[in-house]
Structure 1
Amino acid sequence: MTRRTAPLWAAFLLVHVLTAWLGWVYPSQPMGDVVLVYEPWSTSALTGGTIMGITEPWVYPQLALVPMLIVKALSLPLVATMGALGAYLVAWAVLVTLLDAVALWFLIGGRPSAPRRAAAWFWTAALLLLGPIALYRLDAVTVPLAIIGGLLLLRHPVVATTLLTVGAWIKIWPGALVLAAVVAARGRLKILLAAAGASAGIVVVLFLLGADQHLFAFLSQQTGRGLQVEAVAATPYLWAARAGHASVGYSFEILTFQVEGYGVPFVSDILTPIMLLTVGAITGLAAVKSARGGSFGRLFPPLALSLVTALIVTNKVGSPQFQTWLIAPLVLWFVYDRTRARVPAALVLVLCGLTCLIYPLTYDALLRTEFVPVLLLTARNVLLIVLLVIGIRSIVRVPIPSRR
């Protein structure tokens, strides 16, 4: 730690403490998933009950259970003084903070460059603006894995790809960074083989544990979902609900609020094909740039951001923690190409702030389709589309070296 990085470390840790504390005081249970879902799942797995993803189908890839079990183990010494749920919450915040601190060390350890310090300050600001949802969700575990993996891609591609692949087996989104690396890096074969090898190893272990019937249930479990209230495609239905032509209902099957109205099943059904087409088109555009000599530093960051943003914009789910997915590509963009990272970084900070205003601060009013939260959500979702356009435009603008 140097004089230049000491204030950064202090701010980073302070923001984690503040954000963890705010989870206890903000409305709408921003820590709800941790205590209402993760803790019971981990307890069941350790006490001979259902093991999600192994004995029962699950919406998450199977490695998602690993951090939940680690937190359960960390919480045991605190149970006597805080109770099982309180201890689990504290242990969850501690685990995420430790993982983030490790990733920050990879980012600014030693004598970091100005771009790396800027990336760290951006990350700190994003956490502060996004609030408790940045810590108290499973996605928070994958962000530091994605950052470390992205930082190691050029020097240690096998290690980096393995980390990103593990992250994708916790929550799918880090797989977008693997895809971006395969397209943008010169050593794409090594990256592809590392991803395939890591996935094969994980599948073998899961098969031996008895997950053969539910190995890829996390893919099929998503197909039958409705249109979640915060999804980009749900925005028109919220305005229709204000006019009395649609409504918001609760799905007890997947424990989330969804919009209900004319054409909702159709919109929900076509979003997955639209997602695949969008991701394919972005990948194809970047592949052309890479084949024509586009550099990794100019191509990889906007490609990673565009792919991740496309997963959010075209998703039938619109969970607030999805905004954490945007942090890793922007941190890496600062490192590889600081000048062009500024505009999308500013937009992501605005998105984080708007998301916190929506959830948890005005979420109850949003479910009643009141004007202000619906307007805030509309602005957030429009800006997500703008961010996607900026990312794609940056790919288009990647320079191609002249050949004489």
Structure 2
Amino acid sequence: MSPVVPIFLAAFLLVHVLVAWMGWVYPSQPMGDVVLVYDPWSRDALAGGAIVGVDVSWVYPQLALLPMLAAQGIASVIAPLTGAASSYLVAWIVQVTILDLIAFALLLGRGRARSRLWAAAFWVVALLALGPIALYRIDAVTVPLGVLGALWLVGRPRVAAVLLTVGAWIKIWPGVLIAAGVVLLRQRLTLLIAGAGVSVLVALAVVFAGGGAHLLGFLTEQGDRGLQVEAVAATPFLWMAAAGSAVIAYDFDILTFQVSARGVDQVASLLTPLLVLGVVGLLALAVWRVRGGASALRLLPPLVLALATALIVCNKVGSPQFQTWLLAPVVLWIVWDRRRALAPAILVLVLCALTCVVYPLTYDSLLRAEWGPILVLSARNVLLVVLLVVSVRRMVQERSPLLSNQG
């Protein structure tokens, strides 16, 4: 084992401690969802109350409840040390940190592949740049699953499919890795069978628990929501709000801030069909490029990043934690072809930093429609579109076979 491995692990752990501390001192209570939403949901389920996703429709897929419940178990153990009031919050960070460290250690391996060291360094910097929102949301649980699934798509497709499907039943985005693998890799049948098997088991468990009517509630719950203030498509309406011709208001049903103005509903109604068309179009582009002689393995990282970015760009929701969806695709790209991954990696790091500036650092000013944070958020949203364009361009330009760059 290379002597740099303990150094990287220590740096990764230190960054987790630092970012977790930021959640306590930054404005806008960035750890609020953990204590105000995840804790009550899981506590109610354990106490015999309503089980979200089973007894009532939920904004998340059903397996999202499992890490929330697991945090309750950790909290019960550490409560004598931390105090009951903060035990769940600390337990959440402990859980996320452990999962991240497992994935990070497997990414590093023996520490002899420079591409893996660069990928690990990217993850450390991205976490620090994005700040507390990277840890204090359910999306944080899916990041290590996405990283491991991405690394094992080719060598361990069955394990990768299981991890990614579990991740998709927590937050949908890891499914783009399976979709890309099915389109581009020879292991597609293994990916499909393993992924379908996990999904069937989850569906049967929900149905047997009496939640069949709410099995796909995480899709229908999103259907009628408006345009969230941070969404890419909300950008022009934010400038209208700064000029006094639009309103930023809190939606108590969805528990988020949305924009309200003439034309908002029409734009919001177009985004879901656009998202579907975008995903289908990107997958079709990948197939076309492979038939044109491009290397499937070289196409995989930009395709995965393009798909993850499209999920953000064409989304009615623009939550800051969505930037974590970009980490696993970039890690994959750096490991496989670090030179070509340089520009996308830099873009993602800038996106993380700008997102942190918006939320939580200037979020209150954004909600007052002040020009400064609107300008920062607009720059972030433009760069998301640029990242999508860069990823698609790399797919179009790809012609040569995979050149191993993992040493």
Give your verdict on TM over 0.5. yes
- Deviation sequence 1:125-158 (CA, Å, 0-9, x none): 0000000000000000000001111111111111
Displacement of 1:80: 4.2
- Mean CA deviation greater in 193-202 or 51-60: 193-202
Displacement of 1:83: 4.0
Cross-structure match for 2:405? none
Displacement of 1:279: 0.8
- The residue identity in structure 2 corresponding to 1:144 is P
Cα distance in 2 for partners of 1:290, 1:146 equals 24
Cross-structure match for 1:215? 215
Q: Does 1:233 align with 2:233?
A: yes
Cross-structure match for 1:261? 261
2:229 match: secondary structure:
coil
- The residue identity in structure 2 corresponding to 1:118 is W
- Deviation sequence 1:321-352 (CA, Å, 0-9, x none): 00000000000101111110000000000000
Cα distance in 1 for partners of 2:194, 2:289 equals 23
- Mean CA deviation greater in 197-206 or 364-373: 197-206
What percent identity do the matched residue pairs reach? Answer: 58
Alignment of 1:256-335 (within 5 A): 256-335=256-335
- Mean CA deviation greater in 347-356 or 83-92: 83-92
Cross-structure match for 1:97? 97
Cross-structure match for 1:88? 88
For the aligned residue pairs, the C-alpha RMSD in angstroms reads: 1.2
- The residue identity in structure 2 corresponding to 1:379 is A
Cα distance in 1 for partners of 2:243, 2:4 equals 54
Displacement of 1:79: 2.8
Q: Does 1:181 align with 2:181?
A: yes
1:248 match: secondary structure:
strand
- Alignment check: 8 A CA contact 1:292 1:400 kept: no
- Alignment check: 8 A CA contact 2:9 2:105 kept: no
- Mean CA deviation greater in 382-391 or 84-93: 84-93
- Alignment check: 8 A CA contact 1:230 1:319 kept: yes
Cα distance in 1 for partners of 2:28, 2:237 equals 22
Cα distance in 1 for partners of 2:292, 2:67 equals 41
Cα distance in 2 for partners of 1:166, 1:246 equals 40
Cα distance in 1 for partners of 2:369, 2:210 equals 45
Cross-structure match for 1:32? 32
Cα distance in 1 for partners of 2:79, 2:105 equals 31
- Alignment check: 8 A CA contact 1:183 1:290 kept: no
Displacement of 1:34: 0.3
1:19 match: secondary structure:
helix
Q: Does 1:193 align with 2:197?
A: no
Cα distance in 1 for partners of 2:102, 2:246 equals 46
Cα distance in 2 for partners of 1:296, 1:112 equals 26
- The residue identity in structure 2 corresponding to 1:383 is L
2:125 match: secondary structure:
helix
2:190 match: secondary structure:
helix
2:276 match: secondary structure:
helix
- Alignment check: 8 A CA contact 1:297 1:337 kept: no
Across the two proteins, how many residue pairs are aligned to each other?
401
What's the TM-score once normalised by structure 1's chain length? 0.97
Alignment of 1:112-123 (within 5 A): 112-123=112-123
- Alignment check: 8 A CA contact 1:251 1:258 kept: yes
What's the TM-score once normalised by structure 2's chain length? 0.96
Q: Which runs of 4+ in 1 moved over 4 A?
A: none
Cross-structure match for 1:70? 70
- The residue identity in structure 2 corresponding to 1:126 is A
Q: Does 1:395 align with 2:395?
A: yes
Displacement of 1:400: 5.7
Displacement of 1:81: 4.9
Q: Does 1:124 align with 2:124?
A: yes
Cα distance in 1 for partners of 2:67, 2:42 equals 9
